[in-house]
Structure 1
Amino acid sequence: MLSAIIVEDEVLAAERLRVLLEECNVVLLKTFHHAQPALDWLSMHETDIVFADIGLPEITGLELVERIKRVAKKQPEVIFTTAYEEHALRAFELAAADYLLKPIKISRLQTALARVREKTREDLDDFTHFKVFNRDRMVEVPWQQARYLLAEHKTVFLFTGDGQSYELPKTLVHWEEILGDKIIRVHRNSLVFRHTLDCLIRLDSGDEDEGNATWGARVLDVDDPLPVSRRQLSTIRKILRDG
């Protein structure tokens, strides 16, 4: 699932785009009505797409993109929104993913999103490591060192085999799409890397019927088992059985 922020000084235009993004199953992380707060946010967070109005009050959307390239933690795709066509050439010179004329039609938005998804899909096959902050510096964690991902209070944490944990940007659903067959969802708030899944253990006393039992997943290098939802139990059993 793609994520996005909106940088738009017109409140009604921003609200219309918010509604359209919701219909297109895009996670809207933030809406900004001025450029500088958006730049500050991008220096600390990540998003897949920036929807930028070209006619921003302090600086143009074109200038905004130039600054994003200098400050962004991760370079997002940029989709310009405007009521005018004359900036289209310059927008594409800046490698914009698309250029949407207001009022934005959902069919055009879907085309733009499909273009971004295609680029994202190309990146998925090359995923080799997580980029995380540790003591104010960026470090790379190979995915093979990861054990599981856990979502708590709208924040996703990565846990590794050496007992370290790191905060990750974006949602658990995003990482589920990125990691694909490398992981298995064991609960609504946790993903386990398949190569670390050891066994299932029963967490209750064993006096109840099998159908009402509570189960946990034993994970390599992790002391405490992770709770397993009943919905995922049969899938995990099949993975363990098939090796």
Structure 2
Amino acid sequence: MQNTIRTIIVDDEPLARKGLSMRLNKFEQIAVVEQCKNGQQAIEQIEALKPDLVFLDIQMPGMTGFEVLKNLQEASIKMPKIVFVTAYDQYALQAFEVHAIDYLLKPVDEDRLKECIEKVLAQFGGSADNDQQMKLVNMMAEITGADSDSILDSLAKGEPISVSDYRDYISVKDVGETTRISVHDVLWVDAAGDYMCVHCKDGETHILRKTMKQLETELNPKLFVRVHRSVLVKNDAVKKVLTLSNGEYVIQLNNEHEIRVSRSYREKVRSLFL
């Protein structure tokens, strides 16, 4: 492992940049070489300075952290190791944990930062570099809706990778307020007359004034599957697929709720889960 890890901090909030820099100064292996206030500046400095590590804020005006990654790839700029910094809640962060790409939740906790640095130090050297590249590619696969192999092929050919328009939240509007529901909190959605019922992990059900067809076009098909004309299910919420004596399928979710699969969607369910 190298002696010093050259690091860039990217955050649109000056106090957040300063605070993280002060905390990182306590780690002798980390050398903060630049602080960037927006995505464009980050891209320029990553290209110029070639840092080993970047603490990248996700939610920035003008260009998000994900868009920074996309632009780095399009420009064939060597990808440093990435630690996401975010104000997302714990449920939304499950997507990052799946790929073992570390993150820091604002405001940054001292113990959590120490744990993060330990992970970063363990990743430097040997095959960890390749592993980290694959984790970033897998993350971009979820963001763009493409598969990992096609992303690697595009990178090798120098082709651009476009970010999909799929939403990572569902907006539920009620009188005088709008509730944003992370797609990672959703178990299934079903139609109820002129409304949609969005059923979540916490047991709450939200009423959405939108058609199934509209909602299905907004959600990533890699995350959700249509199992009935009026039912959309989150893929990772599926615990079992039960086969009845008549050949019909019943999906059992992690919360034990069961949903019958209609005949027209049987093949799709078989290809995904059986």
- Taking structure 2 as the reference length, what is the TM-score of the superposition? 0.41
Q: TM-score normalised to the size of structure 1?
A: 0.46
